A and B are shown apart, each in its own frame.
Chain A
Amino acid sequence: MTPEYAYQTVQKTLYVLSPEILLLAAAIVMITASPFVRVARQRWCAIAAAALAGGILALIATRDVVPDAYAAVVVNDAMSFYVRLFVLLSGFIVLGIAHREPPEGRAAEFFGSFLMIQAGTMITASANDLIVLFVGLELVSIPTYLWLYLSRRTAATQEAATKYFFLSIFSSALLLYGLTFLYGLAGTTNLKALGALASSSIPYFPSLSLGVLAVVFILAGLCFRLAAVPLHFYAPDVYQASPLPVAAMLAWIPKVVGVLAIIRALTAVLASRELGDPLINKVVLLCWIVAAATMTLGNVMGLLQRDLKRLLAYSSIAHAGYMMVAITAAFASGGARGNAFYHGIEAALYYLAAYAFMTLGTFGLILALRKADGKPAATIEDLSGVGWTNRIPALGLTICLLALLGFPPLSGFMGKFQIFASAFSAVEGPEATSLRLLAVVGMLNAAIGAFYYLRIIVLMYFGKSEEPLTATGGWPVALATGACAVLTLVIGIAPESISRACREAAASANVLPDAAVDAPPAVAGAVAAPATAIISD
């Protein structure tokens, strides 16, 4: 590698990371300036929104910068671009929901941390290096502790923050441990190079026992972010104790980074392997169990809940289970299957997009509907009769709940359709049975889960209103939740645009570009496999 080439790579990397750098700079300025200037809460929120808008511009401006995949620490492929764009856009929705949450004095820190969380998510999406991936994940975690603690300093939130803090640290440690195994296998931290090594014909690579250890620990660490079994149990307590906007963020951002990290560090690296491979065989079994257990636990426990936030926590666990089904399918089918009509990663990404709108919409609308004492509705009974007293918010909530339930033609249905279709068509022959069984388990779960969403709708429309609720929050909440409800409907009826983006993203994540002429040492010695078109379009 010549010095010029190294310089060029670093330059391009910085260009690619410019949206994140911009967000982080804005966050640092906000947090540093806050003790010295008095700015109203709305202003801080507006500054954060402006930073997001600037991030979008920077993202679009650097669309065509492509650093060398085997040398740079980030990639700028379709997945990186679309996911970062989506995360930035969804940031406006979270801001809209949370704009009144922090107390006046701590608004700058609150919105600053939010920008950091966004930047962390985006770094995870574009990471091409184990260390950068970990940095991205931590950049999400650490400001999240602040979020949990900043908004309200009651005993309950303190408990939630502490619980989340210790478990998060624990899971990060597990993840880091797994990543070191991955590094130890190949001696490189570059993810594309790891993928190229896995697809090469080097004997005994990846070694089965070390490979399984790496996958188990990485998955264990990421299950915490996804709120998947066995590291799901914090979710109901933390959600219940946190204010609604924080819970909304917790239900959305950690899921994105969890799925993205699994894609970047595991499925894309192992994309060249298929179900016949002994390592993949074990990984699929592991994911199968995690997916089935997560879905079942989330849905069954959801049936018992009366508290809205706990109910939504179990709902988010159940949805993590559906995403794990797609990831299981992605592992099983590898990258190069022409005849799976939805690839697992494509389905997982689409489901994330659908999930963002329906779950943020649900949280936002519940937040907006306040009782006479100014507190938002806490139990499902509080929503009784709201269908007739607050027609428009109730309609939006109904749309979001029906989408969570998987009702056609809303986005949740399309998402479930893609996930179960991907599981169904991932492999052919006798090995397909277990994945198809997983799809059946998922469908039965969707049927169980339908009950607790439907119960809310039944109460909203068929119940009697005891304590009238009023819709509050002003135009930002109305705009954010309205956008969620409308988009839930629109991307269900016309899923083509999102679907195409997800497809390109999935294809690009699994692609191994040709090594540059001046091959970096990491891949020298590996038989650089030619780039194969992963998903035929």
Chain B
Amino acid sequence: MAILLALTVFLPLIGALALVLLPGLDKGAARKIALGTSLVTLGLCLALLAGFDPAVTTPQFAAGAADGPYGWSWLGRPDVRFALGLDGISIWLFALTGLLGVTCVLASWESITERAPTYYAFMLTLEFGLLGLFAALDVVLFYIFFEFTLIPLFFIIGLWGGPERKRASIYFFLYTMAGGLLTLLGVIALVVVHMQYSPGHVLTFSIPELTRGLSALPWDEWYRTDSWTSPQVLIFLLLFAGFAIKVPLFPFHTWLPLAHVEAPTAGSIVLAGVLLKLGSYGLIRFNMAMTPLATQALYPFLAALCVAGIIYGALTALAQSDMKRLVAYSSVSHMGFIVLGMAAMNDTGLNGSVIQMVNHGLTTGALFACVGILYDRYHTREMSQIGGTWHKFPLLAFFFIFASLGSAALPGLNGFVGEFPILTATFAVSPWTCAAATLGMILGAFYLLLLLKRVVFGPLVEPHGHDHGDHGHSDVPPIGWHEVAALGPLAALILFIGVVPEPFFARIRPAATELTRVVERQREGAARVLAKSDSIPADAAVSMLSREAR
């Protein structure tokens, strides 16, 4: 199975190389190759999902798991390994990437006409990077994929984007790259700390081993989080820099609306659907699992950023007249929920966060696809110029309403399944935070229904003065098969997760429990250190060592 996983990861890259190297491809052939590749990748993802054993908590489909380290040797010394594997947290994001890969190809089916082979090649390369990232079990490999995803999207935004595309792509690249470099230092710091203080001075880059080793480090300083300069807090902040920008959390979100508005539809789908999850996934894998005490100590700070993002994102979304911008700001708001849930660091919150990552990918992906479909026909995203599309495209209206309600967390659809545990977990830790976040949910319903009211309902409004003639858009094409094929599976999953979430939770739960166990071990270590020394000042800036103190 290890080979199958590696093949799944590399298949899109092979497809991309074929697209670049085969001479004389036109738009039709290119998109067929891209669709075929992404469909086979999706099939392999589903096969992996079928073969996934819910009861196992360690990474699955990894080479060499039985004896010794995971994966294949890559660098001899230090032992950086090409290690791939999936656990309950990554498998869903992995499968989501496979699914949205198909959606992206279908969403670009008609709209991309210029340099189509190159475009699809970048799309598939991006999918390769994302699949590799979610499957990586080695910190260096993780980081390489983390940064690698920038290049394809940089070109997708810069070459096929809107009028401001140049600025948007540079912004996107530099902002995320700057954060990513600090994250790299944080990763190096984790490895160095593990090497210098673990018994036997083990130099390892393996994510599971590091998580295990750091949770039982025989170094008292590691468990102290009573000042801003204690090692765990510093490493947390270094790691946080890159992930917070990627998520994006509130003050670091400024690159996102610009990138979303300028990106082509498929770029927006993959950006909101999967790329933002790199940040939250990194937060779970590194910040929560390896520096949990710092996460706990900085909870007030984290929660404040999340709540600010939730409210700010929602209010800003409310004020937008551009549909795409609205959905982009709603992403800021929803990603705030995801980070809030995981920051609570208990089973409920983690389960909620992971499922919400998938949910957000599905609903936001569908919303961006709907907006893109309208844009392809009317060449505008201004809500004042489009209205009553129900009368013209009932099928599109159906999907639009469905995705919006899913995103607004209507019970019975997927958003509810994710946000409810997140809020429950937050309430257990800090009721006021939960109350403030719930306000964001209400605002969420408000702006999404407002979007529906303006665009879907009411009398038919079409932009005038366009070169189609001044009698409105009588000749816009109807919804094509590829658009239905792009939206259909997303809508089905939105409903399915909403009604039967258990198969999803069943696979997430063991991995989440494993993670909370690690956190628990670190808390025990902290309690031990606290008991040993009474020199820790009571009024330290960040003093939340024991659970009770919270």
Contact = CB atoms under 8 A, between A and B. Distances in A.
Partners in one complex: yes
A440 B182 CA distance: 7
B86 to A, nearest CB: 22
Contacts of B76: 496, 499-500
Contacts of A531: none
Contacts of A413: 144, 147
Contacts of A454: 170, 173-174
Contacts of A338: 201
A537 interface: yes
Interface stretch (B186-194, B310-318, B436-444, B524-532): B186-194
B177 A450 contact: yes
B192 A425 contact: yes
B158 A461 contact: yes
B10 interface: no
A323 B185 CA distance: 17
Interface string A489-510: 0000001100110010000000
A462 B169 contact: yes
A443 B144 CA distance: 16
Interface string B123-153: 0000000000000000010011001101100
Interface residues of A, number: 36
A461 B184 contact: no
A499 B79 CA distance: 12
Contacts of B165: 462
Interface in A472-524: 495-496, 499-500, 503
Interface string B1-28: 0000000000000000000000000000
Interface in A409-450: 409, 413, 417, 420-421, 424-425, 428, 436, 439-440, 443-444, 446-447, 450
A443 B78 contact: no
Contact of B166 (A339, A342, A458): A458
B221 to A, nearest CB: 11
A421 B188 contact: yes
Contacts of A145: none
A494 B178 CA distance: 25
B485 to A, nearest CB: 31
A402 interface: yes
A420 B185 contact: yes
Given A341-B195, A462-B159, A439 B77 contact: no
A341 B192 contact: yes
Given A408-B143, A408-B144, A462-B166, A440 B75 contact: no
Interface in A337-389: 338-339, 341-342
Given A417-B140, A458-B169, A496 B174 contact: no
Contacts of B188: 417, 420-421, 424-425, 439
Contacts of B148: 407-409
A183 interface: no
Contact of A462 (B158, B184, B191, B192): B158
Per DSSP, are chain B's interface residues mostly helix, strand or loop, or mixed? Answer: helix
Interface in B348-384: none
Contacts of B169: 458, 462
A298 to B, nearest CB: 16
A82 interface: no
B203 interface: yes
A26 B169 CA distance: 52
A425 B196 contact: yes
B184 A443 contact: yes
Main secondary structure of the interface of A (DSSP, over half): helix
A424 B148 CA distance: 24
B181 interface: yes
Contact of B151 (A407, A421, A450): A407
Interface string A307-339: 000000000000000000000000000000011
Interface in B64-93: 74-78
A234 interface: no
A451 interface: yes
Interface string B286-321: 000000000000000000000000000000000000
B192 A450 contact: no
A408 B148 CA distance: 6
Contact of B174 (A342, A436, A451): A451
A339 B77 contact: no
Contacts of B151: 402, 407
A495 B165 CA distance: 35
Nearest to B158: A462
Given A341-B191, A424-B192, A447 B158 contact: no
B109 interface: no
A350 B447 CA distance: 54
Contacts of B147: 407-408, 413
Given A417-B140, A444-B182, A462-B159, 14 more contacts: A406-B181, A407-B148, A407-B150, A408-B143, A408-B148, A413-B147, A420-B184, A443-B182, A447-B181, A454-B174, A461-B158, A462-B166, A495-B75, A499-B77
The 6 closest A-B pairs by CB, nearest first: A447-B178, A408-B144, A443-B181, A425-B192, A341-B78, A408-B147
25 contacts: A338-B201, A339-B195, A341-B191, A341-B195, A407-B147, A408-B143, A408-B147, A408-B148, A409-B148, A413-B144, A417-B184, A421-B188, A443-B182, A443-B185, A444-B178, A444-B182, A446-B181, A454-B173, A458-B158, A458-B166, A461-B155, A462-B158, A462-B159, A462-B165, A462-B169
Interface of A: 338-339, 341-342, 402, 406-409, 413, 417, 420-421, 424-425, 428, 436, 439-440, 443-444, 446-447, 450-451, 454-455, 458, 461-462, 495-496, 499-500, 503, 537
